[in-house]
Amino acid sequence: MKTVLVTGATSGIGVGCVRAFAGAGWRVIGTGRRAERLKALQEDLGKDAFFPCVFDVRDEVARDVALDGLPEAFANIDCLVNNAGLALGMDLAQDADLEDWRTMIDTNVTALVSLTHKLLPGLIARKGAIVMLSSVAATYPYTGGNVYGGTKAFVRQFALGLRSDLSGTGVRVTSIEPGMVETEFTTVRNGGDQAASDELYAGVNPLTGHDIAEMVLWVANLPPHVNINAMEVMPVNQSFAGFKVARD
């Protein structure tokens, strides 16, 4: 039986991944700050299938205490799903809050890099897999996406760079790049404003956390000689806009 660690397992794509992997017979470690949600998942899936780890991904000390103390059955991680992340705000760069920018970089980039670095030796030993949640925002800039898009471009390029460095180790690395997925993402981005989220997704028939989770599981379950480098996915009702032109 294989073991997967999913960061950001309390909501959205992460909780979808927990359920998809557990349903496919994997042992799952789920992380997040909201302990009660992880506890509920454990009660639902069972103690043999799911192990909760409560920590803020930016807190390396708390993370190490949690992961270095994993029970033996969960200690050998075969797959890392680097999912925890967030966007804060849609302000123009010139109006944005620097603290929001720092939080996005610390969470989406620094914490992801640090966790990956920590788990790499074990992943190499087990010829494991790493799946990163990047975004279409990595490739297609949009107004107000500034630092969020920058963090996701980092995630994509880090995943591709890892592929190169890990050549010959048998470790597989994938960047998943979704467009609109209806989760808590937009509520968080808008400071808890659920109405803003409802408005964004109204009539779109957006992707769901379950949709993305099925893709992550598919990638992880492919034969060991197959690597999906990057996967871009949007709801059918989302596509491309033209360039913006300012006139004097």
| Residue from 209, 217, 220, 235 in contact with ligand NDP (CB under 6 A) | 209
Binding of ligand NDP by 180 (CB under 6 A): yes
Residue whose CB is less far from ligand NDP, 86 or 90: 86
Q: Are 157 and 139 in contact (CB under 8 A)?
A: no
**CB under 5 to 8 A by kind: which of ligand NDP, ligand 8X3, none does 30 bind?**
none
CB 238, min distance to ligand 8X3, A: 8
Q: What is the dihedral of CA 205, 209, 210, 212, to 10 degrees?
A: 90
> Using the rule CB under 6 A, is 187 a contact of ligand 8X3?
no
- Per CB under 6 A, the list member of 77, 136, 207, 213 interacting with ligand 8X3 is 136
Q: Give the Cβ contact number of residue 22 at 10 Å.
A: 20
Question: Which segment (6-14, 38-46, 132-140, 221-229) binds ligand 8X3 by CB under 6 A?
Answer: 132-140
Residue 146 is a binding residue for ligand NDP (CB under 6 A): no
User: How many positions of this chain bind ligand NDP (CB under 6 A)?
Assistant: 28
Interaction pattern, residues 188-207, with ligand NDP; x per rule: CB under 6 A: x-------------------
The reply to whether 146 sits near ligand 8X3 by the rule CB under 6 A is: no
Strand partners, 182: 208
Site string for ligand 8X3, 77-116 (x = CB under 6 A): ----------------------------------------
Q: Cα–Cα distance between 6 and 132 in angstroms, integer? A: 10
The reply to whether 39 sits near ligand NDP by the rule CB under 6 A is: no
Contacts of 166 (CB under 8 A, 6+ apart): 124, 173
Beta strands 172-178; 50-54: pairing state = unpaired
Per rule CB under 6 A, is residue 179 in the interface with ligand 8X3? yes
Q: Report the distance separating Cα 88 and Cα 80, nearest Å.
A: 24
Residue with token string 């509520």: 187
* Strand-pair partners of 29: 5, 51
- Catalytic residue numbers? 148
Residue partners of 178: CB distance under 8 A and separation at least 6: 13, 133, 135, 136, 207, 212, 232, 233, 234
H-helix or E-strand containing 71? none
Q: How many residues bind ligand 8X3 (CB under 6 A)?
A: 6
Q: Phi first, then psi: give them for residue 3, nearest 5 degrees.
A: -120, 135
Residue nearest to ligand 8X3 (CB): 135
Residues that bind ligand 8X3 (CB under 6 A): 135-137, 145, 179-180
